[in-house]
Structure 1
Amino acid sequence: MASDWITNILEILGQYGFLGIALALMIEIIPSEIVLGYGGYLISSGKISFISALLAGITGGTIAQLFLYWLGKYGGRPFFDKYGKFLFIKQKHLDAAEGWFNQYGTIVIFTARFIPIVRHAISIPAGIARMSFYHFLIYTLAAMLPWTILFLLIGMQLNQHWNTISGVANAYIKPIVIIAIGSLIIYFCFHYIHKKRRN
């Protein structure tokens, strides 16, 4: 269940509709599934339209990742080693994200969005590696769309019980993680086989 301080922040930001949801996702203090769950509640209570909430979720989530991408590109790993804690980026999460990015390449920008351990930090190694901004943006938007829709719909279903979404979300996140990791492995295998045949 969402804690009281999270509920209070969301209730304040929720008064601003589109901007409130987007801002809550940009600052990344509150897990995105909780923010989007609250967005679903706002939809079900008629305070915001589904399209507005969807655009807010995609916009806010993408801007947050672009911010980390640019910090990675212009600040590098030393910046996060020194200031990462102030951005709620844990060292172990950054190490894991770098490992995933180095092992699987740019495609991980899409699949890692669904994996709790690395999804908040995966944009950083992309920036450090100076990944194409266009490809980074496309992969990020492609991942934000299904994630946003899923948790808005769950929030709508929960309605006034939206603050229980953390417990409910686990039933959805686990199979998503399995599918994401499985997709990475399949992609990596096909890529490896194709590379071997070319050689």
Structure 2
Amino acid sequence: MHNAVLLNMIQHFGYLALFFALWLGIVGMPIPDEVIVMTAGLVTALGLLNPILAFLLTYLGVVSGLSVGYLLGNQLGAPVIDRLVRKKKTGKYLRQAQAMLNKFGHYALPISYFLPMVRHLVPYLVGISKMPYRNYVAYAYSTGFVWTLIYFIVGRIFGNHIDQIAQMVTRYGFFALAILCVSGFIVWRGVCNGTTDNTSY
């Protein structure tokens, strides 16, 4: 369902739909980030958008959206958390985000990218803790590139199963992501081997 809504947005607004759908994630866009990035991969596989431009706009949407959270936390401080706690279901994920920061320190930022919901809360917390912006960029932008690339490729390969994959990732986190990466690698090797066999004749 999410996939169909996003495809309709892309048909009307093209690349900008990918950017703003991810950028608005920080204020509660109802479409999961994973679905948006995978759909970006899908539409490039279908030839609807240029792969490089689609990836760049998707990546910029991811990192700029999360950077808004960092800046709000850095400038507004604790009142941001008070506002988040009032939202339904946010308290649970906020506790997870805080526990990750207590356990892993700055490394919680790259780890959080792979955990839905927590991904949006950790930037607020590191902003409140006054992490220097250059450190935030080093952790968040590099990890954001890898995260975006993984789901973009998954969307190109498994585009017909985006909603199901998003549900798996939400429920099983890292384990589902690991399975996806292994499956994608197997498919990629199969395609490469098939291409090699065809060119050998």
Partner of 1:134: 134
How big is each residue's C-alpha offset from its partner over 1:29-68, in whole Å with a ceiling of 9 and x where there is no partner?
2211111111111101111122112212210111111111
Partner of 1:20: 17
Runs of 5+ unmatched residues, structure 2? 179-201
Say which of 6, 21, 31 aligns to 1:10: 6
What amino acid is aligned across from residue 93 of structure 2 in structure 1? H
How big is each residue's C-alpha offset from its partner over 1:49-89, in whole Å with a ceiling of 9 and x where there is no partner?
22112212210111111111111112222233225556x87
How big is each residue's C-alpha offset from its partner over 1:106-157, in whole Å with a ceiling of 9 and x where there is no partner?
1221122113362221101110011010110121111111211111111111
The structure with higher relative contact order (CA 8 Å, sep 6+) is 1
What amino acid is aligned across from residue 8 of structure 2 in structure 1? I
What amino acid is aligned across from residue 91 of structure 1 in structure 2? G
What amino acid is aligned across from residue 49 of structure 1 in structure 2? N
Change over 3 Å in CA distance of 1:92–1:168 after alignment to 2: closer
Q: TM-score, normalised by structure 1?
A: 0.74
SS at match of 1:114: coil
Distance in 2 separating the partners of 1:117 and 1:42: 25
Runs of 5+ unmatched residues, structure 1? 178-199
What amino acid is aligned across from residue 152 of structure 1 in structure 2? F
Deviating more after overlay: 96-105 vs 25-34: 96-105
Aligned length: 172
CA RMSD between the two structures: 2.6
Q: TM-score, normalised by structure 2?
A: 0.74
Change over 3 Å in CA distance of 1:162–1:117 after alignment to 2: closer
SS at match of 2:118: coil
Aligned identity (percent) is 23
- Following TM superposition, where does structure 1 have runs of at least 4 consecutive aligned residues deviating by more than 4 angstroms? 83-86, 167-172
